[in-house]
């Protein structure tokens, strides 16, 4: 019995702007990402390997705002961040203020497993990536025209934006980036893992660190409770320690995962927060909760059937065959 | 009715190495720091102003490992971090990977109040400090010979250290730095605030970010529960989301502050963690919990009498007269 849930950001295009063709592109990408993680789990792999591989695939896909396709700061550069956590040991790794690491999630895992640290940032983190033999890319690799233009439209203002706020002003294209990515999984041994990766918000301050980098805010995993990955306005998730709060509600109040996740998403209003989260627990139950119009997401529960969704209604795909 | 609690790090010198003169120096410094915060509170100031002023004083004091007197990374530089949180609004600010900002706590508060962000890091954070008119210092300002030599002794090894692990090998001096600093307070209006600041662990990796920078790990404040500031091996506090976990135990289990803090410190063992924390709640109760031999600490409860301590026994001072 395994479960996997993923998100491609709570900054989904408003439904009024979504064409059938564009929706198709996102459903297909989410389905493909699910296949990556499911392949690891079906082969007896660990939840940690499954979430890392899935998030790396999402980072490589320019549709999503992480890795290739990241948002631009108001200084015109990408600053990426990622985190990963192992529910069995509560070891965790995070890497942030990255400009050239192709897959921030791989670096987060190396920090977790090859250093005594949890969080490593900036140039020193990229030097460590080189030492570890991870792939760096020239800054052009991360560039997408739509994301850069989105930043130019906001530059000179104090506004930042999830993609939904920006994309409506842009010409339609299949290449629009669309928010933080993340994955959570439980493997056949009952171990939980979570990972989150982000290219940040468009026109953000250079040097800004968001929830995707912060253990307890945008990511948490604990075998006794759940694995959680968040997306949305990171500051609200930081102030609530949102991912850890879901775990705390399960541990200390005895709530089920879905209820705990819904409560925390509801509380985002207390701090003007918008966004969402995906979670799994040890019984393979899945939670997908958000207070935005849409959240790109997908999941494969214990029945092995992949589902993808953008707004309320979900699409069920044929059982995974890898 | 107000309360204030502070710490100067859980990396206190082992009792066997502590001379009466050195202990006197620390008791005096802790007493003076308490006076700074108490002065703000007694004049009707906010808990936020009280913890900021107290932590800034501790940063300026070279006895403590924060601001002036910070530890050195294995690359031979200081990298400082600080955070602050307002329990009334749960607004929070953090600044990290700082090399020249005289008072990281002032920058953390500017991030909280003058940006939409929670966390700002690195060169961009220092540019923001300049924009805000905060004082920067040449790197020499932060230098202390003892801290630099402590790093040299560990460089080339994979060891990092709280000061207690290092100081025993060093010649006795009054100038030894001794861990993270922090302050928590409740003001006359019943508002809570917390702040933590650190120069990091000796011989740490450059680019390492610790608990002092992370909302939920090394600092948390929520009027409904408590204000917490932590010290110790930051990675353990990050993995447990330790400061937020104390708040969660109070909110979801109904525990009193002191019991909640003791439980979380006890759980540090699950992740090989050592350290401590100070806390206050809305009734003015104080918690001071640690699993190291000592923790430099001080507090003024509702009775207005200052107390300072390094190991188990506490010293009571005459009632504050500012």
For residues A170 and B69, give the distance between their C-alpha atoms in angstroms, rounded to a whole number. Answer: 51
**Is residue B321 predicted with pLDDT exceeding 80?**
no
Show the tokens assigned to B23: 């202990």
Residue B59 pLDDT grade (very low, low, confident, very high; cuts 50, 70, 90)? very high
The yes-or-no verdict on residue B168 having pLDDT over 60 is no
Selection from B249, B241, B242 nearest residue B224 by Cα: B249
pLDDT per position as a tens digit, B173-210: 333 334 689 999 999 999 999 999 998 777 678 888 99
- Which residues 6+ apart lie within 8 Å of A232 measured at CB? A10, A11, A162, A179, A180, A211, A268, A273, A274, A275, A276, A290, A292
Distance to chain B for A23, nearest Cα, Å? 32
Full-model pTM: 0.92
The candidate with the shortest Cα–Cα distance to B291, out of B308, B305, B270, is B270
Low-confidence ranges of chain A (pLDDT < 50): 163-178, 322
Torsion over CA of A211, A217, A223 and A228, rounded to 10 degrees?
-60
CB A200 within 8 A of CB A71: yes
Find the distance separating the first CA and the last CA of chain A, reported in whole Å.
16
B241 lies within 8 A of chain A by CB: yes
> Under an 8 A CB cutoff, do A119 and B214 touch?
yes
- The single residue listed with the structure tokens 């707004």 is A311
A119 touches B at CB < 8 Å = yes
CA neighbor of A295 nearest in space, from A3, A25, A22, A26: A26
Residue B165 has pLDDT above 50, yes or no: no
Which two three-digit tokens encode residue B155?
């460089």
Would an 8 Å CB–CB cutoff place A248 in contact with chain B?
A: yes
pLDDT for A178: 45
Main-chain phi, psi angles of B158, to 5 degrees: -95, 10
Name the one residue in this structure whose structure tokens are 């007269």.
B321
CA distance B236 to A119: 12
8 Å CB contact of A239 and B75: no
The mean-pLDDT minimum among A196-205, B149-158, B195-204, B228-237 falls in B149-158
Average of per-residue pLDDT values in chain B? 89
In chain A, what residues touch B87 (CB-CB under 8 Å)? none
- Its sign, for the CA torsion B54, B60, B61, B65, is positive
Interface-testing mutation among B110, B127, B131, B209, with chain A (most A C-beta atoms within 10 A): B209
* Mutation site for B-interface testing, chosen from A121, A158, A225 by largest number of B Cβ within 10 Å: A121
CA gyration radius for chain A? 17
For strands B226-232 and A314-316, give the pairing. unpaired
Nearest chain B residue (CA) to A159? B116
Q: Which of A111, A116, A242 to mutate to test the interface with B (most CBs of B within 10 A)?
A: A116
Closest chain B CA to residue A248: B248
Which chain A residues have a beta carbon less than 8 Å from that of B75?
124
Q: Is B123 on the interface with A (CB under 8 A)?
A: yes
Burial class (CB in 10 A: 0-12, 13-18, 19+), B43: exposed
pLDDT score, position B73: 76
What single DSSP character describes residue A302?
Answer: T
Sorted by sequence, the CB contacts under 8 Å of residue B308 that are 6+ apart come out as B26, B27, B30, B31, B34, B297, B298, B314, B315, B317
Angle between helices A242-253 and A257-267 (to 10 degrees): 130
**pLDDT bracket for residue B289 (50, 70, 90):** very high
3-state secondary structure of A216: coil
CB–CB contact A124 B207 (8 Å): yes
Closest CA relative to residue A4, chosen from A259, A243, A220, A301: A301
Q: What is the distance between the terminal CA atoms of chain B, rounded to a whole angstrom?
A: 16
H or E stretch at B271:
none
Active-site residue, selected from the candidate residues A160, A180, A201, A292:
A180
**Shortest CA gap A322–chain B (Å):** 35
pLDDT at A162: 53
Whole-number pLDDT of residue A177: 36
ipTM: 0.90
| DSSP 8-state code for residue A215 | B
Strands (E), chain B: 3-7, 80-86, 91-98, 119-121, 181-186, 192-198, 208-209, 219-222, 226-232, 275-280, 286-290, 297-300, 306-309, 314-316
Which chain B residue is nearest to residue A251, measuring alpha carbons? B252
| Given B73, B144, B180, B292, the catalytic residue | B180
Other C-beta atoms closer than 10 Å to the C-beta of A188 total 14
On whether any CB of chain B is under 8 Å from the CB of A239, the answer is yes
How many contacts does A have with B, using Cβ atoms within 8 A?
137
Q: How far is B244 from chain A (nearest CA, A)?
A: 7
**How far is A252 from chain B, CA to nearest CA, in Å?**
6
> Which residues of chain B does A248 touch, with a Cβ-Cβ cutoff of 8 Å?
244-245, 248, 252
Q: Is B88 on the interface with A (CB under 8 A)?
A: no
Question: Does any CB of chain A come closer than 8 Å to the CB of residue B158?
Answer: yes
Nearest Cα neighbor of B219 from B35, B84, B318, B52 is B84
* Bridge pairing between strands A314-316 and B181-186: unpaired
Other CB atoms within 10 A of residue A38 CB: 23
Residue B6: the pLDDT is 98
Average of per-residue pLDDT across B301-317: 94
Taken in order of first residue, the domains within chain A and their CATH numbers are 3-316 (3.60.20.30)
* φ, ψ dihedrals at B128, nearest 5°: -65, -40
Tell me which of A104, A221, A238 to substitute to probe the interface with B (most B C-beta atoms closer than 10 Å). Answer: A238
Q: What is the pLDDT of residue A171?
A: 33
Distance CA B139, CA A222 (A): 41
pLDDT at A307: 98
Q: What does pLDDT average to over chain A?
A: 89
User: Residue B269 gets which letter from DSSP?
Assistant: G
Task: Chain A: give the shortest CA distance to residue B111, in Å.
Answer: 10
CB atoms within 10 A of CB B197: 32
Cβ neighbours of residue A13 under 8 Å, at least 6 residues apart?
Answer: A22, A163, A164, A167, A168, A176, A178, A294
Of B123, B253, B271, the CB nearest to A90: B271
Question: In chain B, which residues have their Cβ closer than 8 Å to the Cβ of A127?
Answer: 207
Strand order in the sheet with A91-98: A314-316, A306-309, A297-300, A3-7, A181-186, A192-198, A80-86, A91-98, A119-121, B208-209
pLDDT at B170: 35
Q: List the structure tokens of A265.
A: 């998403």
A180 counts as catalytic: yes
Contact A95, A87 (CB under 8 A): no
Position B322 pLDDT exceeds 50: no
A88 to chain B, any CB pair closer than 8 A? The answer is no
Question: Are B215 and A217 an interchain contact pair (Cβ–Cβ within 8 Å)?
Answer: yes
Judging contacts by C-beta atoms under 8 Å, the chain A residues touching residue B92 are 238-239
């Amino acid at each position: 019995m395994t479960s996997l849930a993923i998100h491609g950001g709570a900054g989904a295009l408003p439904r009024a702007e979504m064409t059938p063709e564009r929706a198709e592109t996102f459903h297909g990408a989410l389905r493909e990402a699910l296949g990556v993680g499911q392949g690891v789990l079906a082969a007896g792999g660990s939840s940690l390997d499954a979430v890392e591989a899935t998030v790396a695939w999402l980072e490589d896909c320019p549709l999503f705002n992480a890795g290739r396709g990241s948002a631009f700061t108001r200084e015109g550069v990408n600053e990426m961040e990622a985190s990963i956590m192992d529910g069995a040991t509560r070891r965790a790794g995070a890497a942030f203020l990255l400009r050239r690491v192709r897959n921030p999630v791989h670096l987060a895992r190396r920090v977790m497993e090859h250093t005594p640290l949890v969080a490593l940032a900036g140039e020193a983190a990229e030097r460590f990536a080189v030492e570890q033999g991870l792939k760096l890319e020239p800054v052009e690799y991360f560039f997408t025209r739509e994301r850069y233009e989105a930043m130019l439209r906001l530059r000179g203002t104090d506004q930042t934006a999830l993609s939904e706020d920006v994309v409506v002003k842009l010409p339609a294209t299949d290449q629009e980036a669309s928010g933080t990515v993340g994955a959570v999984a439980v493997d056949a041994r009952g171990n939980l893992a979570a990972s989150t990766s982000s290219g940040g918000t468009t026109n953000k301050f250079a040097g800004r660190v968001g929830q995707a980098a912060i253990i307890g805010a945008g990511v948490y995993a604990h075998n006794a409770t759940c694995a959680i990955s968040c997306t949305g306005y990171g500051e609200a998730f930081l102030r609530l320690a949102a991912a850890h709060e879901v775990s705390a509600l399960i541990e200390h109040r005895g709530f089920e995962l879905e209820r705990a996740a819904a409560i925390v998403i509801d509380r985002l209003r207390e701090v003007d927060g918008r966004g969402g989260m995906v979670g799994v627990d040890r019984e393979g139950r899945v939670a997908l909760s958000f207070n935005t119009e849409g959240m790109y997401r997908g999941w494969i529960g214990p029945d092995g059937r992949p589902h993808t969704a953008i707004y309320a209604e979900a699409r069920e795909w044929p059982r995974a065959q890898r």
